Amino acid sequence: MPKTKELIREIFTRPDLSWPLIWRVFYRNLLVFKKTWVANIMFNFVEPLLYLWAIGLGLGAYVASIGGLTYIDFLAPALIGSSAMFSTAYEMTYGSFTRMTYQKTFHGMVSTPVSMDDVVMGEIIYGTFKGVLYGMVFLIVVALFGVVKSPWALLIPFPLALMVMIISILSLIWTSIAPNYDSFGYFFTLIITPMFLFSGVFFPVESLPAGAAFLPWLTPLYHAVEIIRPLTLGLVDRSAVTHLVWLAVFVLLTVRIPLVMVKKRLVQ
């Protein structure tokens, strides 16, 4: 397929980026976010709270311990990661799609010295910011439940940022080929929800059948959870570095792809 070949070739070209302008794109999104954040933050934050209550406290009452942890200690830190993931995924699908198509925000920006690469990079940074913000708000909730046991928890934004940046990248790739809003249902059903369920948020991945045990290793959420949980509980060891490297390498390998694909969709 010549189209795929061209796409791959373009992924290896240098992006046209101007960081001062990327921050302007980010600032624009932030300004719009400030108008709606109250309604917005509730929507993304009530759901993990319900999980924490229903599963952490409700179901958790029947679980003696997981790897020496109470169930709420096991679950709550992981929900920081998953709630961040969901808020980023929503923003970079429904939100970005609206800006890209109906509102034609991207078109307006590229009529100025801003390039399409700047626009998409600004989106990625905004998606990352939003995920980290929501994750940190949930960290406060988790702290109120008495689960945060170590000052190491203050380092959570770093693995969280890398993980939600990957979610931004994956979501924007999907958005760049999405024909309409309905198609995002597939993205959540096929990618985000399975990741939520099988990345060691609710149960240790060792419980998976041998043939499927490698699957969580492929997901960014698993690696983030494996760092965030020990940071919250003060049980950090060297394995955190491996997970952090996995996340960083994934970002570096994929970040060019949505830039190329969004440009392909919009510029003809």
Partner 1 sequence: MVIKKSEQIVTARGLVKKFGDFTAVKGIDFTVAGGECFGLLGPNGAGKSSVVRMIHGFSPVTGGSLAVFGKDISAGSREIKARIGVVPQDDNLDPELTVWQNLVVYAGYFRMQKDRAESRAEEILAFMDLSEKSGHVVEHLSGGQKRRLTIGRALINQPDLLILDEPTTGLDPHARRIVWQRLRRLKEAGTTMILTTHYLEEASQLCDRLLVLHRGSILEEGAPAELVHRHVGSHALELGLDPGQMGMLAEGLERLIKSRQLLGDEMVLFTDQGRDLAAKISARADEMDIAISRQMLRQSNLEDVFLKLTGETLTGDHEEEPGGDR
Binding to partner 1 by residue 35, rule CB under 8 A?
A: yes
User: What is the closest distance, in whole angstroms, from the C-beta atom of residue 126 to partner 1 in the complex?
Assistant: 14
| Cα distances (angstroms) measured from residue 68 to each of 78, 102, 235 | 16, 51, 12
User: What is the closest distance, in whole angstroms, from the C-beta atom of residue 115 to partner 1 in the complex?
Assistant: 7
Q: What is the SS3 assignment for the chain?
A: CHHHHHHHHHHCCCCCCCHHHHHHHHHHHHHHHHHHHHHHHHHHHHHHHHHHHHHHHHHHHHCCCECCECHHHHHHHHHHHHHHHHHHHHHHHHHHHHHHCCCCHHHHHHCCCCCHHHHHHHHHHHHHHHHHHHHHHHHHHHHHCCCCCCHHHHHCHHHHHHHHHHHHHHHHHHHHHCCCCCHHHHHHHHHHHHHHHHCCCCCCHHHCCHHHCCCHHHCHHHHHHHHHHHHHHCCCCCHHHHHHHHHHHHHHHHCHHHHHHHHHHHCC
Binding segment for partner 1 (CB under 8 A), chosen from 85-93, 104-112, 144-152, 173-181, is 104-112
Binding mask 162-201 for partner 1 (x = CB under 8 A): ----------------------------------------
Binds partner 1 (CB under 8 A): choice among 7, 17, 63, 110:
110
Binds partner 1 (CB under 8 A): choice among 58, 67, 108, 146:
108
Binds partner 1 (CB under 8 A): choice among 37, 57, 67, 104:
104
Binding to partner 1 by residue 40, rule CB under 8 A?
A: no
User: What is the closest distance, in whole angstroms, from the C-beta atom of residue 123 to partner 1 in the complex?
Assistant: 14
Question: CB-wise, 25 or 92, nearer to partner 1?
Answer: 25
What tokens does 88 get?
Answer: 């980023």
Question: CB-wise, 108 or 234, nearer to partner 1?
Answer: 108
Question: CB-wise, 117 or 226, nearer to partner 1?
Answer: 117
Binding to partner 1 by residue 18, rule CB under 8 A?
A: yes
Binding to partner 1 by residue 109, rule CB under 8 A?
A: yes
Binding to partner 1 by residue 113, rule CB under 8 A?
A: yes
Positions that interact with partner 1 (CB under 8 A): 18, 20-21, 24-25, 27-28, 31-32, 35-36, 103-105, 107-115, 267-268
